[in-house]
């Protein structure tokens, strides 16, 4: 059953800017709400965590509260660094590859799988880029 809702032109414009690969407005809303719930479930909040390095993997320091995402088979997956672990689906992982395998159920290069949020410009970048700097 479909329901109709009224939204302002401004909200519709925001939905269009959030759209990925031709998603419908309904798909965008569902994805954004799903992301919000996922973030709440694993209690990610930059205000709650200091940016201290508790997880170091391959010489890269992952800071506390660091937000990670991956897109796998068209679905966005969110994780965060909490208490020195990459937390995905309420499970802590010591390495990016371990966290990625929790999604794919097969071996994968986590350095190429995950992106991190650069909060200075609100853009996502491959965590593999951190190894190069």
Q: What does the pLDDT read at residue 39?
A: 45
pLDDT in tens, the chain (133 residues): 677 888 888 877 777 777 777 777 877 777 777 655 544 443 333 333 335 567 888 878 888 889 999 999 999 999 999 988 999 999 999 999 999 999 999 999 999 999 999 888 888 999 998 886 5
Q: What is the predicted pLDDT for the residue at 18?
A: 77
**What domains sit in the chain, N to C, each tagged with a CATH number?**
1-41 (1.10.1220), 45-132 (no CATH)
User: Which one-letter DSSP state was computed for residue 70?
Assistant: E
54: tokens are: 């508790």
pLDDT of residue 110: 95
96's CB contacts (< 8 A; 6+ apart) are 57, 68, 86, 110, 111, 113, 114, 127
Supply the pTM of this predicted model: 0.60
């Amino acid at each position: 059953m479909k329901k109709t809702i009224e939204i302002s032109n401004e909200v519709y414009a925001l939905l269009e800017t959030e759209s990925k690969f031709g998603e419908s407005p309904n798909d965008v809303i569902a994805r954004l709400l799903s992301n919000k719930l996922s973030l709440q479930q694993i209690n990610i909040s930059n205000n709650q965590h200091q940016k201290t390095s508790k997880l170091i993997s391959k010489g890269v320091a992952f800071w506390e509260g660091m937000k990670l995402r991956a897109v796998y088979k068209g679905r966005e997956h969110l994780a965060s660094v909490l208490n020195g672990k990459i937390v995905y689906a309420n499970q802590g992982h010591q390495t990016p590859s371990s966290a990625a395998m929790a999604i794919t159920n097969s071996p994968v290069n986590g350095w190429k799988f995950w992106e991190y949020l650069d909060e200075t410009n609100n853009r996502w970048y491959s965590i593999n880029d951190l190894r190069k700097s």
